[in-house]
Amino acid sequence: MKTLYLTSSLFILFISNSSFAVDIKRGQELHDSNCISCHAAIYGEKGNEIYTRENRKIDSLSGLETQLKRCKNSLGSNWPEDQILDVQHYLNSNFYHFKE
């Protein structure tokens, strides 16, 4: 009985963790379709300069997540947690390069 319980628990844990695998491509798609137009209006033609500017305010992975949640709320987006993480990892892998 203990073996069955342990096996079932591990299976459920595996399934739940695999459904939240980070998808950087989806993060880029969400970013490009939701974020970049606002950033371009503020920072110029491409909008990506916000991430590479000298006086950027984001200085950690958790700070990036906090800012993404602020932006999400400002836009009225209904992104679930996994999509926020997708965008966070897209931005980190392409612009910030914070250690996880």
Rama region for 98: left / alpha / beta (φ>0; ψ in -120 to 50; rest): beta
Verdict on whether the full-model pTM lies above 0.85: no
pLDDT of residue 20: 62
- Measure the CA–CA gap between 99 and 93, rounded to whole angstroms: 10
Q: Where are the domains of the chain?
A: 24-96
pLDDT of residue 98: 94
pLDDT, average across residues 87-94:
96
Higher pLDDT, 3 or 39: 39
Say if residues 5 and 71 touch (Cβ distance below 8 Å): no
* Residue at 18: amino acid letter: S
> Which residue, 16, 9, 40, is CA-closest to 1?
9
Give the model confidence (pLDDT) of 35-59 as tens digits.
998 889 888 778 888 888 888 889 9
pLDDT score, position 100? 75
